[in-house]
Each structure stands twice: as C-alpha cells, then as structure tokens.
Structure 1
C-alpha cells in the first residue's frame, strides 16, 4: 500500500490554514452571496469535510491511489524564444494542470499559476508533481495578467504568485474572484492593491483592449476547514479582437454553463478540466469527468476545447493517465474529432488558425 498522509493529520493541517471571517462584499440582492461568504446557485450545502475524511479513510483501506501511469505523460520542449517574442499570434501553451499561457492582442495571460513541486499547505507533504512545469517560471515571457479561478492549493500557489509579482519589468495585473484579492493583499502585496482586482460573477474589466470577465460555475473555495466558501470562485472569459477564450478552472455540471453559453454567444476555445473525478460520489458535485467535459463544451457553445487539469498532480482515484483515454471514448460517442477537443503535451504551444489550433510552423 502506498504511503498516504493520515486523514486526521491532513484535516488538522488544513484547519490551521484557514480562519473564520465575515463577507465584506455581502449583497442580499445577489443569491450567491451569504453573510459569511458565497454559495452555488444550484447545489445545496454539503458536509464536505466529513465526506473528505470518509474518502481518505477509504483510500487507506483500499490501497488507493491507483497504480502509477502505464503510459508516459507526454511532454514537449517549449519554444521559449518564440513565446518571448510573439506579439501577433494568438496562442495557447499548456504548462501543467490548470496553468496555461494565453497570448492574444499582444498580451501574455497566465491562468492559475502553480509552479511549486507540491499542491499543499506544507511544502514537504501532499500531492507531488508528476513532471516539472512545461515552461519553467523563469523562462516565461513577461506576464501582463494573471487569472485565478479559486483558492484551492492546486490552483492558487502562494510561492508562484509571489515570484510573478516580483518579475522583472513589474508585477502583472492579478484578477481574482471576490475575497481572493483581499487574501493576496495580505499574503503577497502587503496591502498594495494597485495590481489586484476582485470581481464578482459577470463583472468584467478591460486590459489593453481585452475584456476579462468572471463567470459563475458550480464549485467551492477553502484554504482550510475554517474558511469554507468565504471567498468566491469562478471561470473566466478572455475576449480579444482575435479570440473568445473560456478558462474553466474547476467546476461541476450545472445550468450555469447553459447560461454562460447563451449570454456570451459561445467561445472559440474552451479550456476544460478532464481529471480529478473519481470517486464520483465524492467528486461529482465539484469536478466534471471527461464525458461531462464533452457535454460542457456543447453547453458553453465552444467551437473547440482543450483538455487541462490532468497528468500533473495525483489528486483523486483514477490513474493519472486515464483521463485522455476516457476523453477519447467520450469524444467518439459524441461524434467529435480530435481537433474538436484536443490534448496538449506539457510545454506544447498551439496557434489559432481560423477555427483550428495548429502547432507553430516557424
């Protein structure tokens, strides 16, 4: 049986990471607001901590997580020189998990930057990276904007944000759901909010002609067990003259996706999570599986989709290399091609060419 962090120790560690608070943004006219924080529009509250503890004990007694990957997780050497000098092409590069570099309208936009070796409150415990970031942080072009979907450790990594804030050429503009901006002000910018932007669902801001909009999805937030949903979560729309891009972060299937598709008119490309979905009794209210990702693409009215949130951290019970196989089955069942919902290697870049996303030809 593989060594696991004892569940009780895990909950104690997470408990120390959070603290109770009230919601300074509370608006009783908004149904997703509560006096303490935020809630989903279509999901009743759950005892997530008890469910998590049950799941962790099951993993111990059943000898989970599963066997190591049978297939290599694909990687590709990044073209860092091209990325550094690109000012005209619209591109997407997968760095790993939910960290993507999006280049459009001359901007470099980074989603959920996680470059640390582990996704956990303590640097020597928790899920360890299966392979290094596809583009090392020090090899990135100057980042103009960072988009954060929510505050879980595999999406909001404090050391990575601190290093980006100190990047040569000045900090990036950091866009985050309500409450996360305040957390970053305490832990990263020491009260300086010039580069921090907190958005509610459907709020938008513009940067150099690109519209960045926070969108409602079904998920949850917490850095510990004492701050459950005290901060907001969401997905992002990046709308430039060249592309309309959806970044999903984490989410479960809900009618929020239909609303997004109808209100926005759809997307040229949607980055959708396909990993961390087993066991379904635990994960379904918060994480989609590959078949549901195919459904999400349709609901969002996305012409193309790219898979993310797999192959980097072992967070759940399916093998690390299973999500692409499950996606291939779901894609075939839906009559989609590999171009309709494609995979990237860690470090790989694709360039938009009409409705297609092709490797660079330079």
Structure 2
C-alpha cells in the first residue's frame, strides 16, 4: 500500500533518498485517512480559464485542421522495453505525456494513454512506443490532471485493480468507482511513499475539467519521484510561471525533467495553459534539472504549430543557452535512456 505524507513530521526523515538531496520532511499518514477537500480549486488558478472561443479553436485544430503533414517524419523507435536493475533509472517515452519510468525497483507509468483515439481530437499520429503486452508488472501510476489526453479511461481499465494510484486532490473517487483499491490523493507539496520511492505532488500553472460541470473541482499538478539514487520531475501540463522555481527550491538535485514542449500555438490562448519550447527549457533550468526530456508532442493534434516544430525549437533553444546537447533527451516514440 502507498503511504501519504503531510508537511512537518519527524518520520519522513527516515526516507532513504541519499545521495539525492532531501526535500522538506513530512509526517506519514495512513492512505485510508479521510480527507476534506474544498468544493473547488479555482483559487489556485494563475490565469483565466479558456472561454468558448478558445475551446472551439482547440477542437478545430484537433479535428478539422487540414495541414497536419509530416506525421511520417515523427521518429518512432519501437524496439521493446529494457528491464532496469534495481539501482537503475530508465525512462521510456510511450508518446504524449506517457512514460514508462523504471526507478528505485518500481515500474511507474505517467499519465498512461494507450488508446488510439481520445475524445475531441483525431486518432493518434504515432503508435504507443511500448506495446501493452511488453509492459512488466506496473507498480504505480501518477496522474497530473483529468483532461482526456492525460486521464484515459480505456487505458486505466486495463490495469490491475491493486495497482498503486497517485492522483491530485479529489480525483481519487474517479478511480475508486472503477474498483481501484490503493488510491492516494495529494494536495500540492504533499508526499507519498511506495517501496523505496517517494512521490511528491507539486504545483503547475494549469486547470482541470472533464465535463461541462466539473471545472476546477479536482486539482492539477506535476510529480517529483525520488529513489535512493535519482530524482525525476514530471511536469504534466503547465504554463510558465514562478512555480517552477518553487519546485527547484524545494527539491534540489533533480536529475531529469520530463517537460511538455508542444500544444502552444496560437499563443494568444495557449500561453495560459502550456509552455512553448523556450519556456520549457527555462522551466527545466528553474527547477534545477540537469537534463530535460521532451514530451507532449508528436502524438495528438491539439494546436496549430507544425508537427515537428516543438522538438526542433527545443533543440535550438537548448543550443542557444549553451547547454550540453547530450543533456537534451529529445526521445523518439518508444526510445529508452538510462540515467548515467
């Protein structure tokens, strides 16, 4: 079972994450402890919500946009999933915001989406980089927020009901109604532990909505996963803002930041929800990560930029900042890399 952690308890100092610098300690609370959440998290917003015109624009790009050429140039490298040793951290990009993260002896999926199509947009441009049948036993999943391209019901149904699930505040009921038994809901800056890995839920500049009636009823954010050897930051969906620096101050020594680089045009409305490639690089630097892996591009058509532009722009910005090219993991779909 996963264990929830809240700020300021001596017990969290026992979490063995050395030599990774430790985040602020927090007490362990049993996962089954009832939580009281507000009716809305709208007070966490840092920008106005998209209005009807903006939603219509997204739907047009996702379903009717005619110029989606170059999809055949999106790199796909499906060669199977390597198995990590207990002390290794191996990252595999499945597509969009989905990674197989092997860390601290666990196999963790981020925002798992294996479906060919999600509501509101055309079918995926590239296949999942890892076949579902090639997955080892999945120990845990982390969910950043409830948008359909990050929380996919058909994929979730394929998971065993005893899989450990780590979700934002008030999203736990969605999983419990589907029979999941090990569900941990966290607020920003709260933590949980599974095996030798800690799962810290951190802020993002975004929002949540799954229907017309549940806007901001559940929280949104990113995740910091820390093993004895490594610390990985999964940003989920986010615009740019001061919360990156706050994460970096609280979680020093991040080895790798999994950063979204796509779905940023037109900027007049995407800027309040999604970083562009330059902001993704800056966000990686703000959190203090040495390396950045690109995501949130090359899978679903959600916006107006050319399909290959996100990763090309990320490379150009990375180079212009004088950063080591080896530290930019512009992964192909299905490609794996091991933290050295």
Q: Which runs of structure 2 are paired with 1:175-186 in the superposition (5 Å)?
A: 175-186=166-177
Q: Which runs of structure 2 are paired with 1:177-326 in the superposition (5 Å)?
A: 177-186=168-177, 188-189=178-179, 194-326=181-313
Q: Does 1:158 align with 2:153?
A: yes
Please state how far the C-alpha of 1:157 moved relative to its aligned partner: 0.4
Residue 17 of structure 1 aligns with which residue?
none
Name the CA shift for 1:323/1:47 in 2 (closer, same or farther; >3 Å). closer
Q: Which runs of structure 2 are paired with 1:19-98 in the superposition (5 Å)?
A: 25-26=36-37, 35-39=38-42, 41=44, 43-53=46-56, 56=59, 64=65, 66-69=67-70, 72-80=73-81, 82-83=82-83, 86-98=85-97
Corresponding residue SS for 1:110 = strand
Q: Is the 8 A contact 1:65 1:317 kept in 2?
A: no
Corresponding residue SS for 2:339 = strand
Residue 101 of structure 2 aligns with which residue?
102
Residue 116 of structure 1 aligns with which residue?
115
Q: Does 1:130 align with 2:125?
A: yes
Q: Is the 8 A contact 1:66 1:317 kept in 2?
A: no
Calculate the TM-score normalised by the size of structure 2: 0.84
Residue 164 of structure 2 aligns with which residue?
173
Structure 1 unaligned residues grouped into runs of 5+? 1-23, 27-34, 354-362
Runs of 4+ displaced beyond 4 Å: 54-57
1:139 to 134, 137, 144: 134
Please state how far the C-alpha of 1:41 moved relative to its aligned partner: 4.0
Give the distance between the partners of 1:139 and 1:295, measured in 2 at CA. 35
Structure 2 unaligned residues grouped into runs of 5+? 1-34
Give the distance between the partners of 2:279 and 2:264, measured in 1 at CA. 10
Give the distance between the partners of 1:231 and 1:217, measured in 2 at CA. 13
The range that moved more, 36-45 or 257-266, is: 36-45
Query: What's the CA shift string for 1:284-338, capped at 9, x where partnerless?
Result: 0010010111110111010111101110111111122111111122112211232
Q: Is the 8 A contact 2:109 2:138 kept in 1?
A: yes
Please state how far the C-alpha of 1:39 moved relative to its aligned partner: 2.8
Give the distance between the partners of 1:165 and 1:223, measured in 2 at CA. 23
Residue 28 of structure 2 aligns with which residue?
none
The range that moved more, 224-233 or 328-337, is: 328-337
The range that moved more, 68-77 or 106-115, is: 68-77
Query: What's the CA shift string for 1:219-244, capped at 9, x where partnerless?
Result: 01111221111110110000101110
Name the CA shift for 1:42/1:160 in 2 (closer, same or farther; >3 Å). closer
Q: Is the 8 A contact 2:50 2:269 kept in 1?
A: no
Relative contact order, higher structure (CA 8 A, sep 6+): 2
Q: Is the 8 A contact 1:127 1:315 kept in 2?
A: no
Please state how far the C-alpha of 1:55 moved relative to its aligned partner: 5.6
Give the distance between the partners of 2:97 and 2:189, measured in 1 at CA. 21
Please state how far the C-alpha of 1:70 moved relative to its aligned partner: 6.6
Name the CA shift for 1:235/1:134 in 2 (closer, same or farther; >3 Å). same
Please state how far the C-alpha of 1:246 moved relative to its aligned partner: 0.1
